């Protein structure tokens, strides 16, 4: 998105009074203009969500790698642990769901 100093275009939208009040309230709580809040929410929020989730995704990946190493070590000693396989699968599922969440704008 280009950073124009003098925007020249407008968009008119229809919304309920409740939705309008919510937008105004959120914009004020962030100390942003309504215009800036709407633009930030609509245009840049997806990448911001992914950025916000990145530390969580890294920790999940690290945890998954640690569990895999534990499982490998136990298997080498002849101790089969299907429960650790299940944990790895769950962590992969969580990782995928968080990526999907961020990609879909938090929906």
Counted domains in the chain = 1
CA distances from 2 to 11, 21, 36, 39, 105 (A): 17, 28, 14, 12, 21
The answer to whether the CB of 24 falls within 8 A of the CB of 66 is no
- What global pTM score does this model have? 0.46
pLDDT one-digit tens code per residue, 46-105? 566 667 777 888 888 888 888 888 888 888 888 877 888 888 888 888 888 887 877 766
* Dist. CA 24–CA 37, nearest whole Å: 9
Domain assignment present for residue 33? The answer is yes
Domain assignment present for residue 34? The answer is yes
Range of the domain at 68: 17-103
pLDDT one-digit tens code per residue, 12-63? 999 999 999 999 998 998 898 999 888 888 877 556 666 777 788 888 888 8
Contacts of 64 (CB under 8 A, 6+ apart): 88, 91, 92, 95
């Amino acid at each position: 998105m280009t950073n124009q100093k003098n925007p020249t275009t407008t968009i008119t939208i229809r919304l309920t009074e409740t939705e309008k009040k919510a937008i105004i309230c959120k914009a004020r709580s962030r100390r942003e203009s309504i215009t800036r809040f709407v633009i930030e929410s609509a245009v840049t929020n997806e990448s911001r969500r992914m950025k916000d989730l990145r530390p969580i995704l890294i920790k999940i990946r690290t945890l998954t790698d640690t569990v895999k190493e534990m499982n490998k070590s136990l298997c080498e000693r002849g101790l089969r642990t299907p429960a650790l396989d299940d944990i790895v699968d769950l962590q992969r599922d969580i990782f995928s769901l968080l990526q999907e969440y961020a990609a879909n704008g938090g929906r």
